[in-house]
Amino acid sequence: MLRNVVVGMSGGVDSAVSAHLLKERGFNVLGVFMRNWDEHDEAGRCSGEQDLKDAEWACQRLQIELRQVNYVKQYWTAVFSQFLEDYQLGLTPNPDILCNKHIKFDLFQRHALDTLQYDAVATGHYARNSRGDYLEQPLERVRLLIPKDTFKDQTFFLSGIAQAALQRTMFPLGGLLKDEVKQLARRIGLRRLAEKRESTGICFVGKRDFKSFISEYISAKPGNFVDVDSGEVVGSHEGIHQWTVGQRCRLSSYLQPYYVAHKEAASNTIYVAAGHEHPALHCKRIHIGAINWLCSESQQQLISQGSLRCRFRFQHTKPLVDCELRADEVLLQEPLRAITPGQYAVFYDDVACLGAARIFHGEPLQQQSAVAMKS
């Protein structure tokens, strides 16, 4: 049975309440604050210093020790550099999934288990672990379960972590709604965190316009917007890194608005489709990379049968869609708009996240131009 737990303290209400719940249940709790982004290099645009102060305040109120770890260099190498490289290649990455995979549930967890010699780590993610508080189940039986608060469900962002990491991870908020967490925070004297504005979006971008942010790291590289139907140039852009699939281009002098259908890094061309519901923006077949499995039973079923019926999403706020998963592709039951290369296909059954794979590209319902839509 787990006794000693390191809680990743972020300075927010979720991690603070997680630490309280564990301590209340008799665990020996140590708080650790992770510094992943050097906000001083960005003129204080990230809220790291304030988050640290809030984490210190919460730990004082909870009467638990707080320590710090610095992963700024590792974050830059494993997450941010990959983020920039992907954008230059015309892909749209997900830094939250990369951060969980490489930093929180790898470096941080190994520090907690190997260096600090604690039994497990806990975070304020809204998710559940089928193992609960014990280590008696074999590794292949541990599953990443959907939490009670399906609106706040964060299993999407945890889908890229190693399955073995779940064996030593606890999610104390899995059985609570967000409102219940805030109410509990107020009752135990953490009102300040309950009323703290939650951070949204990518931390290192902050409140800045994304195009302004990305231009600080990637130089402009002008190219053309090309109509997928006619093959004609309909405008110009300052770089494929500034645009993502499905985004409106706001080109003037055209009756219908144009949307990004496909990006070609080699020619620096963005192919666009006229109309929000253009067939070039929708697809049912998605080509994917290697699957990171969190459920060995589903993995074995795919291997033995060649396919797996499950559910799919590529954005954490979108409804789940039925699909047939194969070794290197996904066949959707119904077409979806703006399937985005570089993002992640995340798979579910009725109760758990099964795993994830990176999206290479989706096949549009109607390939309007063989030249424009080549992959």
CATH of the domain at 78: 3.40.50.620
Q: Does 100 share its domain with 231?
A: no
Tell me what pLDDT residue 342 has: 96
Q: Long-range pairs for 145-151 at CB < 8 Å and ≥24 separation?
A: 145/174, 145/351, 145/352, 145/353, 146/348, 146/351, 146/352, 146/353, 147/171, 147/173, 147/174, 147/175, 148/174, 148/175, 148/176, 148/177, 149/173, 149/176, 149/177, 149/178, 151/178
Q: 104: closest CA among 55, 153, 162, 147? A: 162
Name, of 129-138, 210-219, 323-332, the range with top average pLDDT. 323-332
Q: How confident is the model at residue 1 (pLDDT cuts 50, 70, 90)?
A: low
Tell me what pLDDT residue 48 has: 75
Q: Tokens 């899995």 identify what position?
A: 174
pLDDT digits (tens, 9 = 90+) for 248-280: 998 887 888 999 999 999 999 999 999 999 999
* Domain-embedded: residue 203: no
Tell me what pLDDT residue 39 has: 58
* Domain-embedded: residue 212: no
CB 206 within 8 A of CB 46: yes
Name every residue whose Cβ is closer than 8 Å to that of residue 66 and which is 6 or more positions away in sequence. 9, 31, 32, 33, 55, 56, 59
Q: Does 32 share its domain with 158?
A: yes
Q: How confident is the model at residue 204 (pLDDT cuts 50, 70, 90)?
A: low
Number of independent structural domains in the chain: 3
Q: Does 59 share its domain with 29?
A: yes
Tell me what pLDDT residue 207 has: 59
Q: DSSP readout, 67-95?
A: EEEE-HHHHIIIIIHHHHHHHHTT----H
Q: What is the average per-residue pLDDT within 153-166? A: 95
Active site annotation includes 353:
no
Q: Does 152 share its domain with 79?
A: yes
Q: Does 295 share its domain with 236?
A: no
Least confident of 36-40, 69-73, 163-167, 307-311: 36-40
* Domain-embedded: residue 333: yes
Q: Quick count: other Cβ atoms within 10 Å of Cβ 231? A: 13
Active site annotation includes 203:
yes
Tell me what pLDDT residue 201 has: 58
| Average confidence score pLDDT of the chain | 90
Tell me what pLDDT residue 255 has: 82
The pTM is what? 0.90
Q: What is the average per-residue pLDDT within 222-235? A: 95
Tell me what pLDDT residue 200 has: 62
Q: Does 106 share its domain with 147?
A: yes
Final residue in a domain of this structure, among 228, 246, 274: 274
Catalytic member of 46, 59, 203, 323: 203
Tell me what pLDDT residue 90 has: 92
Tell me what pLDDT residue 42 has: 46
Tell me what pLDDT residue 211 has: 77
Tell me what pLDDT residue 146 has: 97
Tell me what pLDDT residue 203 has: 62
Tell me what pLDDT residue 371 has: 42
Cα distances (Å, whole numbers) of residue 178 to 12, 118, 155, 206, 298: 12, 28, 15, 23, 30
pLDDT digits (tens, 9 = 90+) for 123-146: 999 999 987 665 555 455 789 999
pLDDT digits (tens, 9 = 90+) for 169-198: 999 999 999 999 999 999 999 999 999 987
Cα dihedral 328, 333, 334, 339 in deg (nearest 10) = -20
Name every residue whose Cβ is closer than 8 Å to that of residue 73 and which is 6 or more positions away in sequence. none
Range of the domain at 266: 219-274
Residue 150 has pLDDT above 50, yes or no: yes
pLDDT digits (tens, 9 = 90+) for 77-123: 999 999 999 999 999 999 999 999 999 999 999 999 999 999 999 99
Catalytic member of 46, 59, 99, 310: 99
CATH of the domain at 262: 2.30.30.280
Tell me what pLDDT residue 256 has: 87
Name every residue whose Cβ is closer than 8 Å to that of residue 164 and which is 6 or more positions away in sequence. 139
Final residue in a domain of this structure, among 194, 227, 248: 194
